[in-house]
């Protein structure tokens, strides 16, 4: 059944891309993403499975899935348990394929990213400042976007 769903989804995507006259490189990126998503999930939408469970079970599952990631952020270590549960509830799994741009330099940072699997290369030129280049390699267990927390911390003082 799931393989048939994947086939129909792929066919729908091909028709949509054709209708929208997407260039071939963009079509290939979409195909690569859909293939990767299928490999990682086997067609199971984790959020849908969890959403249909009772509230206490959802909370416990979300906590199991994300607590260790959140506890790697120093600011979260001593946070109230209810607030941690609320944060766990709002974390959403997202898949990215190779060479994806998640945030471009200069764009506002509006979310934190927690690397669960794979790796992420961050690069900055500090706004194009001459001669400045910095890169950091992040891997499973790492996070980025913590500048949001310094803003929140200043607001609470």
- Grouping H, G, I as helix, E, B as strand and the rest as coil, residue 33 is helix
* Percentage of the chain modeled with pLDDT above 70: 89
pLDDT given at position 54: 93
**74-102 confidence digits (pLDDT tens):** 888 888 888 888 888 888 878 887 877 88
Report how far residue 70's alpha carbon sits from residue 2's, in angstroms, rounded to the nearest whole number: 33
pLDDT given at position 19: 92
Sign of the torsion formed by the C-alpha atoms of 134, 135, 141 and 144: positive
157 pLDDT exceeds 60?
Answer: no
Task: Please report, for the chain, how many H helices and E strands are present, in that order.
Answer: 6, 4
Report how far residue 50's alpha carbon sits from residue 116's, in angstroms, rounded to the nearest whole number: 18
The CB density around residue 46, as the number of other CB atoms within 10 Å, is: 12
- Grouping H, G, I as helix, E, B as strand and the rest as coil, residue 75 is helix
The domain ranges of the chain are 1-44, 46-93, 95-157
Backbone phi and psi for residue 134, each to the nearest 5 degrees, phi listed first: -140, 140
**3-37 confidence digits (pLDDT tens):** 888 888 889 999 999 999 999 999 998 998 888 88
Q: Which residue has the higher pLDDT, 60 or 103?
A: 60
- 95-157 in CATH: which number? 2.60.120.10
């Amino acid at each position: 059944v799931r393989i048939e769903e994947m086939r129909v989804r792929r066919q729908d995507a091909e028709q949509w891309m054709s209708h929208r006259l997407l260039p071939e490189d963009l079509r290939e990126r979409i195909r690569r993403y859909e293939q990767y998503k299928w490999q990682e999930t086997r067609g199971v939408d984790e959020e849908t499975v969890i959403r249909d469970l009772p509230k206490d079970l959802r909370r416990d599952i979300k906590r199991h899935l994300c607590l260790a990631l959140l506890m790697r952020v120093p600011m979260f270590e001593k946070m109230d348990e209810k607030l941690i549960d609320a944060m766990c509830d709002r974390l959403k799994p997202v898949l990215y394929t190779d060479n994806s741009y998640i945030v471009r330099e200069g764009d506002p940072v509006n979310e934190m990213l927690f690397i669960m699997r794979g790796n992420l290369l961050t690069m900055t030129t500090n706004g194009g400042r001459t001669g400045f280049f910095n890169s950091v390699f992040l891997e499973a267990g790492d996070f980025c976007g913590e500048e949001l927390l310094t803003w929140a911390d200043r607001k609470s003082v």
